């Protein structure tokens, strides 16, 4: 049971990474990017096809991450060009439309046949107290913690972070004040593309092996971001790890294992309920 729970740290760390990308995008551009995991899925399936041609795994991964980053930047530029002066709801609706478009393109390009993903980290790891910590777990967990610290410091204590938050709050005013809004937009969406694509590549060998299945990882990523209220990076990290460990624990029980996706939806629903009650309580006070 303990080993199953620990094994969930891989998925949990990736949920946290994807959730951190959602929070970072929201805090720096005012966009809830629901197309993020579809972009990562595009990168992952590209890597599979490249490896199938005989290309070395690491080279295929680098090219795939570059492809995912380009798609992410193009999406960010589209939102900047057409929706920069609109509200958060319209921007979010645009990313949902982008998700649907990418699902259609992905189905056309890659099909919906399950793929076999190479796991280059499976040979690494160590055993502690009888529990096996794989290379995937170490890398994903380490990356999630480091990214949380880096984003927290950057957004709160650096000039670039202050500029990004200003752009998210008032993009037109920021542009009139001479801030390089376009350059900052490209930086944000490049970062999201790299981290999102790499995260999907890490989780792909243990998650759904279809384009649609990988794209729907936006659900646990959103759950992690909701846990942090789309504001707190540290709570997003905790939310992702908790969700992953809960999924790992439930997979130990054969009766519950088939309903993991349903449990993730229940997790999101509970967070929304408690968040709504908290807001009502604050208003009542």
- CATH code for the domain in which residue 86 is found: 1.10.3470
3-state SS, residue 12:
helix
Cβ atoms of 264 and 220 closer than 8 Å: yes
3-state SS, residue 235:
helix
DSSP state for residue 125 in the 8-state scheme: E
Cβ atoms of 39 and 71 closer than 8 Å: yes
Q: pLDDT of 119-140, one tens digit each? A: 777 667 666 666 666 777 788 8
Q: Find the radius of gyration of the CA atoms of the chain.
A: 19
Q: Scanning the structure block, which residue is given the tokens 């960010």?
A: 76
Q: pLDDT of 39-77, one tens digit each? A: 999 999 999 889 888 889 889 999 999 999 999 999 988
Q: pLDDT of 141-177, one tens digit each? A: 888 899 999 988 988 888 877 777 766 666 666 666 6
pLDDT at residue 227, as a whole number: 86
Question: Residue 183 is encoded by which pair of tokens?
Answer: 């350059």
pLDDT at residue 162, as a whole number: 75
Would you place residue 103 in the very low, low, confident or very high pLDDT band (cuts 50, 70, 90)? very high
Task: Give percent of the chain above pLDDT 70.
Answer: 77
Q: Scanning the structure block, which residue is given the tokens 């609109």?
A: 86
pLDDT at residue 118, as a whole number: 73
For residue 131, give the H/E element and its range.
strand 131-134
pLDDT at residue 194, as a whole number: 93
Per the structure, the complete domain to which residue 23 belongs is given by 2-284
Maximal CA-CA distance, the chain: 64
Number of separate domains in the chain: 1
76-104 average pLDDT score: 86
81-106 average pLDDT score: 86
Give dist(CA 9, CA 15) in Å, integer: 9
Give dist(CA 94, CA 123) in Å, integer: 41
pLDDT at residue 130, as a whole number: 62
Strands 131-134 and 125-128: antiparallel
Cβ atoms of 134 and 125 closer than 8 Å: yes
pLDDT at residue 261, as a whole number: 64
Distance of CA 255 to the CA centre of its chain: 29
Q: pLDDT of 214-242, one tens digit each? A: 888 888 898 889 888 888 899 999 988 88
pLDDT at residue 284, as a whole number: 44
The whole model's pTM is what? Answer: 0.84
Q: Which of 248, 10, 261 is nearest to 119 (CA)?
A: 10
> Which residues lie across from 138 on neighbouring strands?
none
Q: Is 278 a residue whose pLDDT tops 60?
A: no
Give dist(CA 72, CA 21) in Å, integer: 12
235-262 average pLDDT score: 75
Q: Which of 189, 191, 194, 267 is nearest to 12 (CA)?
A: 267
pLDDT at residue 279, as a whole number: 53
Checking phi first, is residue 246 left (phi over 0); if not, alpha (psi -120 to 50) or beta? alpha
Question: Residue 204 is encoded by which pair of tokens?
Answer: 């792909």
Task: Give percent of the chain above pLDDT 90.
Answer: 21
């Amino acid at each position: 049971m303990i080993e199953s729970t620990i094994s969930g740290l891989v998925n949990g760390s990736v949920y946290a990474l994807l959730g951190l990308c959602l929070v970072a995008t929201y805090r720096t551009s005012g966009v809830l990017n629901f197309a993020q995991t579809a972009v990562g899925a595009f990168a992952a399936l590209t890597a599979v096809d490249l490896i199938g041609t005989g290309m070395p795994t690491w080279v295929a991964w680098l090219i795939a991450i570059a492809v995912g980053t380009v798609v992410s930047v193009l999406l960010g530029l589209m939102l900047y060009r057409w929706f920069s002066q609109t509200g958060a709801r319209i921007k979010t609706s645009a990313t949902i439309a982008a998700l649907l478009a990418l699902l259609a393109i992905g189905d056309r390009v890659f099909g919906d046949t399950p793929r076999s993903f190479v796991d280059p980290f499976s040979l690494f790891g160590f055993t502690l107290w009888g529990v096996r910590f794989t290379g995937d777990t170490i890398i994903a967990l380490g990356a999630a913690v480091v990214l949380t610290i880096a984003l927290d410091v950057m957004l709160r204590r650096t000039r670039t972070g202050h500029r990004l938050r200003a752009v998210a709050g008032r993009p037109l005013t920021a542009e009139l004040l001479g801030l390089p809004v376009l350059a900052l937009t490209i930086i944000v969406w490049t970062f999201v593309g790299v981290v999102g694509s790499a995260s999907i590549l890490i989780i792909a060998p243990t998650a759904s092996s279809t384009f649609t299945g990988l794209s729907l990882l936006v659900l646990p990523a959103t759950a992690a971001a909701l846990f942090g209220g789309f504001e707190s990076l540290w709570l997003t990290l905790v939310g992702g790890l908790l969700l992953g460990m809960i999924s790992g624990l439930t997979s130990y029980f054969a009766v519950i294992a088939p309903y993991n996706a349903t449990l993730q939806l229940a997790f999101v629903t509970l967070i929304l309920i408690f968040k709504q009650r908290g807001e009502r309580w604050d208003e009542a006070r």
